[in-house]
A and B are shown apart, each in its own frame.
Chain A
């Protein structure tokens, strides 16, 4: 029996050592990627290497990443920016991104895209994924802990986080971070969508008249740091949304949700295609960077 217990303990020890090694290897790959696979890893890699300094930064969900092209803005105005929006982000994930970016960078202003997700206060179970390799950062852990009962185990059990999020953070993604260039870094975080939206049916988004605590927190930080913050809603097609709720709780705010009614500008009702993004970026420049 003692021999069996020894064997079990020995095996357990080896498993723990393997888990530690793999955890280190995976985390290293996300912290120091050759080709960052997601916006969070990318943000940290450029943040920590201090490759560039930015005048402004854009935050939001897929309705940010696909809609505003910082390279076009730089070309037309000379102002350098970065688009840190990524798909599926709720205000919670936007807050994490803003916090982590502002910790190292000091841009003049930031822009936050708000939309039908304005009332969401919880983490998005998918969009939280790119933050998991960095969960040991104290701020991130404290924030994720409020939203995720597994966070203690994700932080403290070696490699557990990578098995739990294996389909998004697993070996495939780690291998690709050495092999395949991402499709957003070349355009400073912007990515164009293709295709044209179908006529489809109209849909209404009804926001509840409540402030979002994460957005209020972003406002407070920016005030403290002296960073100007602008909120906006990007265009929709065939969608109505009571943006008055957003306008009531955040400022300064600009509503672009109804500026386009031509579906040729859209890839789907929520996202502009490349042509629409180019036009919207132009309008964005006029609004915020005062170029006539």
Chain B
């Protein structure tokens, strides 16, 4: 939620990290450097913990006491989650950690640092930028570059297509199916999971593309956040292609410091679970996100333990028009696993998760209300268009990049947005809540 008073929060966070960066740099002893780093970490995570997780922990304690027969009453604290806090907290943390690791010289330009923390295109939902990449861009004088601005414009159009045509149309059905799951047949519940998978992809990657494109109009280059994740051949590849800025953040600032994939089996299992559980918990103060994270850890572990987690680092079907049967099979299985995991992400509670899945596996086949009243398959051709456009540009950043017919594609996408865009039932970006 937005409230002008939250400006002081981001300002305070900015001042703290700016100051700690300078202190870390000035300190001679490692102990002092560590001390200032911890101040930064504790203040940032303290704010995040208070605003985002207080109610969750208190409610969980109450539930635990209730489970053991104690009657504890709790009304919940009236805390509003400041918009973008999860994103800018991680962004500023990357600054102090990189200064501590001597990867970055702390800035003395407070305005540049403030602009880095609150850079408007990516403030509310990422990509989570690294200080090493974004901060230096504020120092240099910007020149207008036509090619960069044009590419930014194309990326904005592509992002709008994914958000307004794909995500918002899928959302109408996914919301209905998830809210009324007990009315629907198993095939409709499968459709609900598939629609949510495309809703969250179109919504979040669409936002990222709009943010990156907008930045390019101003001469800034932001990191790529999605790289066609639904063409992944296994879960490890999926996590290299989905929400890249968060995955790499966790890899660099949590997974590797914990020991990464070095050490024994137990260490590998522990670190994998930690990173996926924390990643799930980062998304929201709800057990559903933790279960979602745990499920992804379970998917990922067998690959890592067999040393197959980096099997697919090339571009799928490179120099081929279509994937091989094996590749197609792998993509399909990975998508199904991902879509199944998204059920945990979308549901309102863990109970809702399991009830949805239970209904899905009762194998009820009937012509249900949704099929009679609304013909829910009408979105599938649009999803097919998205898949085709992405498939034929999978070796490029986005379908309009370096294309001879980029302008024609852009006009076509504008046409699609006008005709098929869901304007009257527009949904807020899902990741704004995080």
Residues of A in contact with B (beta carbons under 8 Å apart): 1, 3-4, 7-8, 11, 14-15, 18-19, 22, 159, 163-168, 170-172
Instruction: Give 13 A-B pairs besides A18-B414, A22-B418, A166-B425 with Cβ atoms closer than 8 angstroms.
Output: A1-B144, A3-B146, A4-B146, A11-B153, A11-B410, A11-B414, A18-B415, A19-B418, A22-B419, A165-B424, A166-B423, A171-B419, A172-B378
Bound Cα distance A7, B144 (Å): 14
The size class of the interface chain B forms with chain A is 10 to 19
Name the distance in Å between A77's Cβ and chain B's nearest Cβ: 37
Docked-complex contact B418 and A159, CB < 8 angstroms: yes
Collect the chain B residues with CB atoms within 8 Å of residue A19's CB.
Answer: 418
Bound Cα distance A3, B146 (Å): 7
Docked-complex contact A164 and B149, CB < 8 angstroms: no
Interface residues of B in 409-424 (CB under 8 A from A): 410-411, 414-415, 418-424
Docked-complex contact A18 and B418, CB < 8 angstroms: yes
Collect the chain B residues with CB atoms within 8 Å of residue A167's CB.
Answer: 422, 424-425
Collect the chain B residues with CB atoms within 8 Å of residue A14's CB.
Answer: 411, 414
Bound Cα distance A269, B149 (Å): 60
Collect the chain B residues with CB atoms within 8 Å of residue A8's CB.
Answer: 153
Name the distance in Å between B215's Cβ and chain A's nearest Cβ: 15
Bound Cα distance A168, B422 (Å): 11
Collect the chain A residues with CB atoms within 8 Å of residue B144's CB.
Answer: 1, 4
Bound Cα distance A22, B425 (Å): 20
Cβ-based interface call for B150 (8 A) = yes
Closest 4 CB pairs of A and B: A163-B423, A167-B424, A166-B424, A166-B423
Chain B binding site: helix, strand, loop or mixed by DSSP?
helix
Docked-complex contact B149 and A4, CB < 8 angstroms: yes
Residues of B in contact with A (beta carbons under 8 Å apart): 144, 146, 149-150, 153, 378, 410-411, 414-415, 418-425
Collect the chain A residues with CB atoms within 8 Å of residue B150's CB.
Answer: 4, 7
Docked-complex contact B418 and A164, CB < 8 angstroms: no
Docked-complex contact B146 and A166, CB < 8 angstroms: no
Chain A binding site: helix, strand, loop or mixed by DSSP?
helix
Name the distance in Å between A265's Cβ and chain B's nearest Cβ: 26
Name the distance in Å between A26's Cβ and chain B's nearest Cβ: 9
Name the distance in Å between A10's Cβ and chain B's nearest Cβ: 9
Docked-complex contact A164 and B378, CB < 8 angstroms: no
The one of A7, A164, A168, A171 that contacts B420, using a Cβ cutoff of 8 Å: A171
Collect the chain B residues with CB atoms within 8 Å of residue A159's CB.
Answer: 418
The one of A1, A3, A15 that contacts B414, using a Cβ cutoff of 8 Å: A15
Bound Cα distance A197, B301 (Å): 57
24 contacts between A and B (CB under 8 A): A1-B146, A4-B144, A4-B146, A4-B150, A11-B414, A14-B411, A15-B418, A18-B414, A18-B415, A18-B418, A19-B418, A22-B418, A163-B423, A163-B424, A164-B423, A164-B424, A166-B424, A166-B425, A167-B424, A167-B425, A168-B424, A170-B419, A171-B419, A172-B378
Output the nearest chain B residue to A21 by Cβ-Cβ distance: B415
Name the distance in Å between A37's Cβ and chain B's nearest Cβ: 15
Name the distance in Å between A128's Cβ and chain B's nearest Cβ: 13
Collect the chain B residues with CB atoms within 8 Å of residue A22's CB.
Answer: 418-419
Collect the chain A residues with CB atoms within 8 Å of residue B153's CB.
Answer: 7-8, 11
Output the nearest chain B residue to A3 by Cβ-Cβ distance: B146
Bound Cα distance A15, B424 (Å): 20
Bound Cα distance A164, B418 (Å): 11
Bound Cα distance A89, B424 (Å): 20
Name the distance in Å between B216's Cβ and chain A's nearest Cβ: 11
Bound Cα distance A3, B148 (Å): 12
Name the distance in Å between A163's Cβ and chain B's nearest Cβ: 4
Name the distance in Å between A185's Cβ and chain B's nearest Cβ: 21
